[in-house]
Chains A and B, each alone.
Chain A
Amino acid sequence: MTTTSPTVPRATAPDPDLGTKVVLTAPLVLQSGETLTGVTVAYQTYGTLNAEKSNVIVACHALTGDQFMCGTHPITAKRGWWDDIVGPGKVIDTNRYFVICANVLGGCMGSTGPKEINPATGRAWGLRFPVITIRDMVAAQAKLLDQLGIGKVLCVVGGSMGAMQALEWAHRYPQRVFAVVPIAGSYRHSAQNIAFHEVGRQAIMADPEWSHGNYLEENRVPKRGLAVARMAAHITYLSETALHRKFGRKLQDRSTLTYGFDADFQVESYLRHQGYTFVDRFDANSYLYITRAMDYFDLASENGGALSNAFKGSPVRFCLISFTSDWLFPTAESRAIVHALNAVAANVSFVEIESDKGHDAFLLDEPDFHQTLRGFIDGCADAQKVQRP
């Protein structure tokens, strides 16, 4: 991809095929008070919209995910992040449902974000892009649906940052969503999570190639900083057990220690690989903006300090799902949401899935998780009389 090539000015580089895009006709007034006009939303759809438009599922991607949730990714050539879950006959059966996944506002896969051109100046936004929030991301999605002529959504589903968006959907548009499934998420970013994000941001900003955010115009790429940010974050997505099972203390392509700082251990080699492949598909400034959006998310403080206020009288069906070994968004976070929803007698289900795979379990083959998700969504569709395939 062109973002990694230092010889091609990114601002004028041709985009690879990033699928469908819509330019929002309505301006987007951001939570910060700033207004964005001509916002582009890049999105993918899977399945067919039925005549009643009653089979819409909005899937929200996580921090470094994008709209290419299934099939082969156009840039990495790997399977989409939810290829196990979304597709014909799969957990979210595209023979029955019409699934929409949009690249978030501030993202770098075709939606308006810091690496895109600011139409007012003709230059890449860079750090002149306004700070965006989870609320802004969801507002952009809602406007996308407006333009696609879709009113009510059967279900909004997402993991991690996608869970935050699902909660925001339920909070902002309770009449517009029948159900939401926040997976491995929280109603607010914890101090520990903000701390990890700050490490990532500082790694990026410490890279001289970052150049105060102007690297695109200067044809530079802050690869090292972004890679280190990714490496640190990647550890938080796994669990000690999963890391140990996968790597232990095994050595990488060698039989003895080298008494140097090369990647002696497989786990080091793995993390370096994770870091350096990440920079091929992700924009460093986007990483700053999106992590900031997650840090700012706090549905409790926005609602007088009580999360339950965010969902008073909510007609939305909730299904919270967490994983036992997730220490980034531990079960206690989901349980706090359940307690708040109980306090307003909302319709809520809550399942904690046994898994030793850490936060990333929501992306992996976890049969109990899949069974739960399928049952909940199909139950909602049956209640809404969505035709079975």
Chain B
Amino acid sequence: MNQPSPTPLANKPSKRIRVELQLVADLVAPHTRVLDVGCGDGTLLSYLAAFKQVDARGLEISMSRVRAAVSQGLSVIQGNLETDLKDYPDGAFDYAILSQTLQATLNPQAVLGDLLRIAKRAIVSLPNFGHWRIRWSLLVGGRMPMTANLPDQWYNTPNIHLCTILDFVDLCQSMNIRIEQSFALSADGLKQNYSATGWQANLFSEEAVFVLTRQD
């Protein structure tokens, strides 16, 4: 590994992303095997490799980001999570991390199933479409909501499968997935005190982070 800089997550542009990555990083136990799905240029992976001594692997669709990650000495492959997760054997990792991406997949249910097939735990973060500002925007404006978190027009958004926190909790239930831990986050990515799976979070959180395992 390159010499770890003291705050490797601090060079990210957005405070929200920075705080969320830190939260995710804190959830990972040291000396484990981690697959970061959609790892970007490897910001989280390099942090985990340097400070948690994990066996860090990444999958990323953008070739320029893959190049940036591999150039730092990280193990990252270029690929598409919707087609390439199936290659990995069962239980290959302790954690599979999917940050702010599930809503942009063609088949979130299959992706979620694959994450929990290849890893003991999945750490998944999602934007919450049930946030009051989004509800208000649709109610009053009568048009598809756009927020700082979800800035695209309906016709060019990559987020083709948006859901609310409660929707996601329902999906987990239907797939026999246990929500081991959950965190409701404000727009700044700050942890909120209320339950991340209840009505409050569904109304007031911009996003949520879940630690998921298979129901035994």
Contacts and interface: CB of A to CB of B under 8 A. Distances in A.
Interface stretch (A97-105, A123-131, A345-353): A345-353
Q: Is the interface of A mostly helix, strand, loop or mixed?
A: helix
B159 to A, nearest CB: 27
Q: Which has the most chain B C-beta neighbours within 10 Å: A351, A378, A383?
A: A351
Interface in B64-81: 66-67, 70-79
A379 interface: yes
Given A339-B87, A342-B87, A348 B77 contact: yes
B70 A382 contact: no
Interface in B30-54: 33
B27 interface: no
Interface in B50-108: 55, 57, 63, 66-67, 70-79, 84, 87-89, 92-93
Contact of A352 (B1, B76, B78): B78
A349 B88 contact: no
B66 A382 contact: no
B1 A383 contact: yes
Contact of B71 (A344, A374, A383): A374
A338 B77 contact: yes
B77 A342 contact: yes
Q: How large is the interface on B (under 10, 10 to 19, 20 to 34, 35 or more residues)?
A: 20 to 34
Contacts of B57: 347-348
Contacts of A196: none
A319 B76 CA distance: 9
B193 interface: no
Contacts of A378: 2, 73
A86 B180 CA distance: 51
B125 to A, nearest CB: 24
Given A345-B88, A347-B55, A352-B78, A376 B63 contact: no
Contacts of A342: 77, 84, 87-88
Nearest to A345: B92
Given A347-B57, A351-B66, A372 B77 contact: no
Q: Is the interface of B mostly helix, strand, loop or mixed?
A: mixed
B70 A319 contact: yes
B71 A372 contact: yes
Contacts of B33: 345
Contacts of A353: 67
Given A338-B79, A342-B87, A382 B63 contact: no
B73 A350 contact: no
B84 A375 contact: no
Given A354-B63, A379-B1, A379-B2, A348 B78 contact: no
A188 interface: no
A73 interface: no
A348 B75 contact: yes
A372 B74 CA distance: 10
A157 B189 CA distance: 43
Interface residues of A, number: 27
A387 to B, nearest CB: 14
Q: Which has the most chain A C-beta neighbours within 10 Å: B63, B74, B76, B77?
A: B77
A62 interface: no
Contacts of A344: 89
A96 to B, nearest CB: 14
B47 to A, nearest CB: 15
A347 B33 CA distance: 11
B78 A375 contact: no
A368 interface: yes
A351 B75 contact: no
B1 A372 contact: no
Contacts of B79: 338, 350
A317 interface: yes
A343 interface: yes
Interface string B148-164: 00000000000000000
Interface in B107-162: none
Contact of A343 (B1, B73, B89): B89
Given A338-B77, A338-B79, A343 B70 contact: no
Nearest to A318: B75
Contacts of A374: 71
Contact of B88 (A319, A343, A368): A343
Contacts of A380: 73
B70 A376 contact: yes
Nearest to A377: B73
Contacts of B71: 371-372, 374-376
A308 to B, nearest CB: 9
A376 B92 CA distance: 23
Contact of A379 (B55, B63, B72): B72
Contacts of B1: 379, 382-383
Per CB-CB distance, the 9 closest pairs between chain A and chain B, nearest first, are A379-B73, A375-B71, A345-B92, A342-B87, A350-B77, A349-B70, A339-B87, A349-B75, A371-B71
Given A342-B84, A349-B66, 14 more contacts: A317-B75, A338-B77, A339-B84, A342-B87, A344-B89, A345-B88, A345-B89, A368-B67, A374-B71, A376-B71, A378-B73, A379-B1, A379-B2, A382-B2
6 contacts: A339-B87, A342-B87, A347-B57, A352-B78, A375-B71, A378-B2
